[in-house]
Amino acid sequence: MKKFYIIHLIAVIFIVLNIINLKNLSLIDWDEGAFALQAKYFASAGAQGKPFNFQTPPLYQIIIALLFKIFGEHDLILPLISIISSVVVMYFIYFLGKNLYNEIIGVFATLLFVSTEFFFFFSKSGLSDAIFLMFFAGALYFFYQSIETNRIIYYLYCCLFTLLACYTKYTGPVLFLIFLFIAI
């Protein structure tokens, strides 16, 4: 259980560094701007923004639109979604590694994940990758839990997270193949 505190420490350091750096973050990618404009379009019922056909399912843009309605239209909302999602992914990876193997493997899997270039870029971008990975990792974690415990609540969480992943990116349906291989 003491090793679990390492995950908390990593999460706190990550959050603090990103909060400090938040004022330096901006939407630098065309896709980030398109997500923000589409979310403004949804949030304003078509009065602002652009109705892009962005070739992705609309869940991420709808989440941004809801947050725009609650907190106002701030570009920082997009990287905040990624930062929060990335922290949740750290915990999913830790618990999946811990449950599959042991606590040390869970910590090492998390450390390996947070040291990747993928994590460094997407964990604070305004793109949908971090929230998609959160849904994807959550679906895998709850699928494993449902098999291990045979509790219906984990099956339901797995279904919810799978559905959310599929409505965030078109690569979400690969989860069904992964579930099939895990189940076999």
Angle, vertex CA 96, rays to CA 94 and CA 98, nearest 5: 65
| φ/ψ (deg, to 5) at 45 | 55, 40
The pLDDT value recorded for residue 98 is 96
Instruction: Categorize the per-residue pLDDT at 52 as very low, low, confident or very high, splitting at 50, 70 and 90.
Output: low
Lowest mean pLDDT among 21-25, 39-43, 96-100, 158-162: 21-25
pLDDT value at residue 25: 66
8 A C-beta contact, residue 154 and residue 145:
yes
Rounded CA-CA distance 172/72 in Å is 30
Place of tokens 């570009």: 75
Rounded CA gap, 24 and 34, in Å? 20
Least confident interval from 26-30, 31-35, 164-168, 177-181: 26-30
pTM: 0.90
Average pLDDT over residues 22-47: 78
Q: What is the pLDDT of residue 44?
A: 85
